[in-house]
Amino acid sequence: MMIVNIGPQHPSTHGVMHFRLHLDGEIIRRVDPEVGYLHRSIEKISERRLYEQVPVYCDRVDYTCAMTAVLGYVLSVESLFEKYELEVPPRAWYIRVIVTELQRLANHLLWLGTFALELGSFTGYMYAFREREKILDLFESVAGERITINYPCIGGFQQDLPEGWVELCRKILSEYPRYLDEIEDLLTLNPILIARCKGIGVLNRQTAIAYGITGPNLRATGVKFDLRREEPWGPYPELDFDIPTREEGDVYARYLVRLAETRQSCRIVLQCLDKLPEGPVLAKLPLKKRDISSEFLKERGIDAHIRTGIPRRLCPSPNETYRRMEGPRGEYGVFIISDGSDKPYRVRYRDNSFSSMSAIGAISKGHKLADFIAIFASLDIVAPGLDR
């Protein structure tokens, strides 16, 4: 039995991850993932920041799909309040859906490019990233950032979409299916891809559910479950889209499911762009006046009757919440415990990379070393969601 290390520095790992493979010739007998190279203690940091200051850290929880990562936290905080206290305006809900689905598109293109690259197709990588660039340019014009985007905020958005953004978005997305057909021509019926992916890394339904895997990985095993339909938020119930599923559960099925999902995302965004209502994009937040106590001021030698600026902050009443949403990787949810103060008591980010990583030993046992790369690439695991 030979032990081979993959990583932590390796061009094929999506981020910094370390695997110890126990090999018997070329067959994998055991996989020991070692994680924690990208652990930045975001959960601990979030406990020492105000509710409004945490979203800056949230986009680093999963930097490949930052919009949905921030939105997951924002939806959780908003669920701590009652409906009448915090009502997000309709235009903000539609923009949230647009931004989520664009992020899903960008993430799946990133996944597609790196998946193709790891199997040896540099052209596939370039084609996918060419499309992704257009979406990142859209994000840059709306939020100022391409990757670690901090655009959604509690209550909506701080800034509306810039002028001409809707037309540009529409133009890019109406051309997208043609470019996706081009990528599919290159990859989908490619005999090399099929030989390396069909029948490899089969994940059956019971194993996927038992390991807590969600998202496209689960839909490729035949479970037609999508949180956009089960626990919808915003205008999702009125939008018309399909949920692609496959039965086989192998690497090829996961590839096909993700490609089909990008087409659906395109469809959703075009519907939202047509239905986008006018109006404000930021809700009136239920801020509480925080009076500075007189002892505090006396200690610092400030006259007690002089108010030197009353901070008004978001202080949800003591509550516990877990609001999950369908991120590009699967279930993304933030568990927040609030204690009545202006800082969260406990924040826990639930990401699907963690669950997929815990299952990789079970999926890749008995396969060859070269197949491990294909399996690992198809599961769409990224290090930030894994370690936080």
Binding-site ranges for another protein (CB under 8 A): 35-36, 39, 41, 43-44, 48, 79-80, 209-212, 214, 223, 225, 230, 290, 292-293, 296, 308-309, 311, 319-322, 324, 331, 333, 335, 337, 342, 345-346, 348, 350, 354-355, 357-359, 362, 387
Residue that has been written with the tokens 């999902």 in this structure = 261
Residue that has been written with the tokens 């978001």 in this structure = 314
Minimum separation from the CB atom of position 44 to another protein (A): 6
Cα–Cα distance, 62 to 60 (Å, whole number): 5
Minimum separation from the CB atom of position 65 to another protein (A): 18
Minimum separation from the CB atom of position 213 to another protein (A): 8
Minimum separation from the CB atom of position 290 to another protein (A): 6
Contact assessment for residue 99 and residue 325, using Cβ atoms and an 8 Å cutoff: no
- Among residues 165 and 225, whose Cβ is nearest to another protein? 225
Region for residue 263 given its phi and psi (left: phi exceeds 0; alpha: psi -120 to 50; beta: otherwise)? alpha
- Among residues 342 and 371, whose Cβ is nearest to another protein? 342
Minimum separation from the CB atom of position 205 to another protein (A): 9
Encoded tokens for 64: 């490949």
DSSP assignments along 65-81, one per residue = GHHHHHHHHHHHHHHHS
- Among residues 3 and 210, whose Cβ is nearest to another protein? 210
- Detail the DSSP E strand segments found in the chain: 2-6, 18-24, 27-34, 152-153, 156-157, 287-289, 312-314, 319-327, 330-338, 346-350
Minimum separation from the CB atom of position 113 to another protein (A): 28
Helix (H) or strand (E) holding 216: helix 216-219
- Among residues 274 and 295, whose Cβ is nearest to another protein? 295
Contacts of 127 (CB under 8 A, 6+ apart): 113, 179, 182, 183, 186
Minimum separation from the CB atom of position 22 to another protein (A): 14
- Among residues 261 and 331, whose Cβ is nearest to another protein? 331
Select from 144, 174, 180 the least CA-distant residue to 159: 144
Cα–Cα distance, 270 to 267 (Å, whole number): 5
- Among residues 1 and 310, whose Cβ is nearest to another protein? 310
Residue that has been written with the tokens 């963690």 in this structure = 354
- Among residues 178 and 305, whose Cβ is nearest to another protein? 305
